[in-house]
Structure 1
Amino acid sequence: MGKTIVITGGGDGLGRALARRFARDGETVVLLGRTLSKVQAVADELGAPALAIECDVADPASVRSAFAEVARHHAKIDVLINNAGVYWPFTLAEATDELVQSIVGINLAGPVYCAREALPLLRDGGMVVNVTSESSVLKTPMLWLYASTKHAVELMSEMWARELEAEGVRVTVVRAGQMFDETKTGAPWPIEVSMRFGAAAAQVGINLREKGTSHYNSVTDAFRAILDMPADMHLNLVSINGRRP
C-alpha cells in the first residue's frame, strides 16, 4: 500500500521534484505552500489523489488550519518532509526585522509548528524528514542566520528522534548541498549582493563557483532510499552534496 507524504514548500524546487517523484512511484502527496496557486499547479499536474493546501509554515494558525485539512482527507500520514526554507545573504548591520523574522519563522519555527500538528497523524510508524543545508557546517559569510537556523533544526531533530521513539516516529535530517533545476535561473537577490557574497566567501577560502551542484531530480533518490528503510532501521543524518563539474 502506498505512503501518504506531506511536503512543505511543495510549489517549486526540491519540494516539487519530490512530489513528482513520489507521485510517479505511486505515493499520495499533499503539497503545502504559502502561494496556493503554485502548489495547486503541481497538484493539477500530478492529478488525483495529489492535494494542494495553502500554508504559511511561519504562522501557527495557518499550520493548524492546514493540518486540520490534511486530517479531513487522511486519518494517517506516513511522512512529513519539512522542506520549506528561505535564505538571503546579509551582514549583521543589514539584518532588517523582516529578514530576521522571515528566516527564523520559516526555517526554524516552521518545522516545529508542522511537526507538532502532524504528530497525531504520524504516530505508530510515521517519519519526519527535516531538510537542512551544508551551510550549517560550512559557516559561509553572510549566511550566518540561515546557517544557524539549519544547525538548530539538526540539533532539534536529534532530540526529537529520542523523544518520539516510544511513539513509533522516526526523525531523519537530510543535509543538502547546492541544487538546481532548469527553472532556477539565478539568485533571488540583486547582483551586487551576489558579488559581495561571493567575495566574502572567497576571503575565508570558500569558492562558490567551484562547489558541486546536483539536480533536484537526483536528490530525490536519497529521499526515496530514506523512506524505504526497514522499520528496524533509523537514519539520523544523511549528508548529500553535488559533485564538482
Structure 2
Amino acid sequence: MLADHVAAKGRLVVISGAGSGLGRALARRLAADGDTIILLGRTLAKLEAVAAELGPRSHPVVCDVANAQSVRAAFAEIAERSPRIDVLINNAAIYQPTLVKDAKDLQIEAAVTTNFAGPIYCSRAAIPMMGRGGHILNISSETVGLPHAMFSLYQSSKAGLERFSEALRAELEPDGIRVTMVRAGQMTDEESTAPSADPEVLRRFAEENLKRGLDFRQRPISTFGSVADLIRALTHLPDDLNVPQIVLEARRP
C-alpha cells in the first residue's frame, strides 16, 4: 500500500510532467532521498518507465493537467492511498513556437490550459490534502523576462503562473503552506527534443530570435539534473525560512 511506503519513508511528493525532462529528473532526485513519488503525466508508458527505474516508492498516475476532471480523478486516486501530500511540484508545460497570427485554436488552448490552468487545477486539488509544512512549487521560465520571438503563448501563460504563485502564497501563508515560484533557465539532457517537429517552424524560430539577439547555439545551458538538485534543496527549507521566488540562470561551466 502507498500509505505504508509513506509512513515508512517520509514525504509524499507529487510531480506533474514526470515522464520526461525536468519532471523525471526531479523524481529521480527526490526518490533518492527516500521520498514517495507520485508521477503525473498524460502518457502511461513514460510514467511506468520512470516508476520501473525508481522502484516501489514511485507510483504512476495518468493525469492531463489541462483537464479539470482528469486532475480531480488523479488526486482522488492519490487520496485513496494516502491522506496527505507534502510537496506538489507543478512542472508540466508545453511550448510550441508560433506567431500569434498563425496560432491554431488548439495551440492557444493548450498553452493556456496546460501552463496556466493546469497548476491551478492541481493546486486546488492538493491543498485540502496538505497541512502545515506543505509546499507547492510552480516551475516558470526565463522566457518571461526575455525578448523571445514566437513564444508569446508560452511566455504569457508562464507570466500568469508567476502572478498566480504570488496570490496563492498570500492565500496559504496563514495555513502554513509554502508557495515558491522557480523561474528556470534553458536546460537539457540526453533525451531532450526540439520545441517543434516541423523543420520550417524551427528554422523560422531560430531566425526570428537571432533578429532579437538570441542565438540559442551560443547561450549557456544547464542540465535537468542540476536544476533538480536546487529544487530538491528548496523542498527542505528550515521551518523559519521561505523562498517566495527564485531565478535560475544557466552558466558555462
- Classify the TM-score, shorter chain: over 0.9
Over the aligned positions, Cα root-mean-square deviation in angstroms equals 1.2
Match of 1:121 among 120, 126, 129: 129
How far, CA to CA, are the matches of 2:46 and 2:211 in structure 1? Answer: 38
- The corresponding residue for 1:171 is 179
TM-score by length of 2: 0.94
Deviation at 1:185, TM superposition (A): 4.7
Within 5 A, what are the aligned runs for 1:69-218? Answer: 69-218=77-226
How far, CA to CA, are the matches of 1:91 and 1:138 in structure 2? Answer: 16
Deviation at 1:2, TM superposition (A): 2.5
- The corresponding residue for 2:5 is none
Asked whether 1:20 is paired with 2:43, we answer no
How far, CA to CA, are the matches of 2:172 and 2:193 in structure 1? Answer: 40
How far, CA to CA, are the matches of 1:134 and 1:239 in structure 2? Answer: 8
Deviation at 1:198, TM superposition (A): 1.2
Deviation at 1:24, TM superposition (A): 1.0
1:175 alignment partner, SS class? strand
Aligned AA (2:59): L
- The corresponding residue for 1:4 is 12
Any conservation in 1 of the 2:186–2:249 contact (CA below 8 Å)?
A: yes
- The corresponding residue for 1:229 is 237
How far, CA to CA, are the matches of 2:197 and 2:209 in structure 1? Answer: 16
Deviation at 1:148, TM superposition (A): 0.4
How far, CA to CA, are the matches of 2:196 and 2:204 in structure 1? Answer: 14
Bigger drift between 143-152 and 183-192 goes to 183-192
Any conservation in 1 of the 2:14–2:38 contact (CA below 8 Å)?
A: yes
How far, CA to CA, are the matches of 2:195 and 2:141 in structure 1? Answer: 16
Match of 1:220 among 216, 228, 248: 228
Any conservation in 2 of the 1:88–1:189 contact (CA below 8 Å)?
A: no
How far, CA to CA, are the matches of 2:57 and 2:235 in structure 1? Answer: 19
Match of 1:46 among 54, 58, 64: 54
Structure 2 unaligned blocks of 5 or more: 1-8
Deviation at 1:212, TM superposition (A): 1.0
- The corresponding residue for 2:6 is none
Aligned residues: 245
- The corresponding residue for 1:57 is 65
Deviation at 1:162, TM superposition (A): 0.6
Identity %: 46
How far, CA to CA, are the matches of 2:33 and 2:243 in structure 1? Answer: 22
Deviation at 1:190, TM superposition (A): 1.3
